[in-house]
Structure 1
Amino acid sequence: MVSNNVVFSNLVSNNLVSNKPAAWPLVLASGSPRRAELLQLLGRPFQVVLPQVPEQRTPSESAAAYVQRLAISKAEAGATLWRTKATANTTTNSLVLGSDTVVVVGYAQAHEQVLEKPRDFADFQRMMQLLSDTTHTVLTAVAVTQSAPLEPTTDVTMATMVATEVSFKALSEGEIAAYWASGEPQDKAGGYGIQGLAGRFVTHLQGSYFAVVGLPLYETAELLTRVETQQAGGQQ
């Protein structure tokens, strides 16, 4: 894996999607159909690669540090994988986007718990009991690696993170069991998909709905613009 420079950016532009043609092709380093669907809403074509990145949180790692590390690792691993797929005469630079989402109970507190994909029904049931009748935080990090195939050591990664608070109603055991039986929770961080059947559990949301689904549109568009602006400035 290439060791890149990482810049965490505060995004301030008011434009959601730039009308200027993208300087570099875009690559999504994710197999998530939800992220692919959301990225399509930005109105620019992209390719997909599937990097293999271990998702293991270290004991002392905060939820915020963990989700940002995974997003950066996926973008950088995706850039490396994209190079191997390029033909010998391909010299086109690319932007490789990685993202990760975790659900957190007790965010930024000493006892914070990270809820990832449920291992089985018992694990899912535990998660739903934690989320029932309370507010939790969904963290989604996005990283974009500026990938130059001929000079990989010059790669630069920029990243951002979005925190969204989500409140659930009180869940009965019957509702929890029925939701598991639907088949929807098994591949979802925190054991639920807000865009699906679990949407009826949500009583309040503060932040980015799209970030909870898997990719914050505004922040992603702004991050791509910032990376492209930096790239254009470097070529002047």
Structure 2
Amino acid sequence: MKLLDNKIYLASKSPRRRELLRQIGINFEILLLRDANSRPADVSETVLPDELPSDYVKRVTKEKAEAAWNMMLLRKLPLRPVLAADTTVVLNGKIYGKPANRAEAYEMLSALSGSTHQVLTSIAVHFHQKQLESTQTSEVTFTKLTKKQIDQYCDTLEPYDKAGGYGIQGSAAQFISHISGSYSGIMGLPLFETAQLLTEAGITLS
């Protein structure tokens, strides 16, 4: 289906995802969903019983894309493809979301210290009856962190809006000895896969 314009809606408040879309020349508008801070949330990010990390991140992303599409229809906004994404950190099969407080951030970073974990980022593009989805998995290895390093990092604002309690694009980069996969995926939006899905949805990339 031919698009009215070469523009999408981004269903995310992440400044990193906005930055990454601009990096590949995507024209977008923000379409924010309600989160847990403005109850009731449009999409629950609670992990279901026995839900695998890959199933979890795909489900949440799909629900975000559907909720944003329905919001667009409800508001009678111009019809455009909706892009949603979700990122989760996984260590030994355990999902690490965004820490709610300093204690949780400290616990997460202590667990990641000296270990290799996975970062799963799922993206979905919803347009009319079509929903395209892709999940990218990367591996990140942390050096062994001292208590002082963890304390100092927890004193910053970085851990508290990021899965796993850290951002690879920030000062936590000094903790990371090796990555395998997609740097942009670890940031929260794998650009290769995103470009592929948006092209399939009819968006022309510059």
TM-score (norm 2): 0.89
Where does residue 11 of structure 1 map in the other structure? none
What number of residue pairs does the alignment pair up? 193
**Contact 1:164-1:205 within 8 A present in 2 as well:** yes
2:178 & 2:26 partners in 1: Cα distance?
32
TM-superposed deviation, 1:22: 8.4
1:207 to 1:22, Cα distance in 2 relative to 1, 3 A: farther
Q: CA deviation at 1:31?
A: 1.0
Q: Secondary structure at the match of 1:162?
A: strand
- One-letter amino acid of the counterpart of residue 35, structure 1: R
Which deviations, in whole Å up to 9, do the C-alpha atoms of 1:108-137 show, x marking residues without a partner?
A: xxxx10000112222112111110011000
- Asked whether 1:136 is paired with 2:117, we answer yes
Partner of 1:233: none
Match of 1:72 in 2: 62
Note if contact 2:98-2:162 (Cα within 8 Å) is conserved in structure 1: yes
**C-alpha deviation, 1:182, in angstroms:** 1.3
Q: Which has the higher contact order (CA 8 A, sep 6+)?
A: 1
1:38-57 C-alpha deviation (Å, 9 max, x unpaired):
11112121111112311111
2:12 to 15, 30, 47: 30
**Partner secondary structure for residue 46 of structure 2:** coil
Aligned partners of 2:11 and 2:84 also within 8 Å: yes
CA distance in 2: counterparts of 1:93 and 1:128, whole angstroms: 42
What value does the CA root-mean-square deviation take over the aligned residues?
Answer: 1.6
SS in 2 for 1:144: strand
1:220–1:22: structure 2 CA closer, same or farther, 3 Å change rule?
farther
- Tell me the percent identity: 40
1:48-63 equivalences under 5 Å are 48-51=30-33, 52-63=42-53
Name structure 1 gaps, 5 residues minimum: 1-20, 107-111, 148-154, 230-236
Displacement of 1:223 in angstroms is 1.0
Q: Please, which of 173, 179, 183 is the counterpart of residue 209 of structure 1? A: 183
Answer yes or no: is 1:190 the counterpart of 2:164.
Answer: yes
SS in 2 for 1:228: coil
1:44 aligns with 2:8: no
Shift >6 Å, 4+ stretches: none
Is the 8 Å Cα contact of residues 7 and 26 (structure 2) preserved in structure 1? no
Bigger Cα Rg = 1
User: Normalization by structure 1: what TM-score?
Assistant: 0.78
Secondary structure at the aligned position of 1:194 is classed as coil
Q: Distance in 1 between matches of 2:160 and 2:138?
A: 22
**1:228 Cα offset (Å):** 2.3
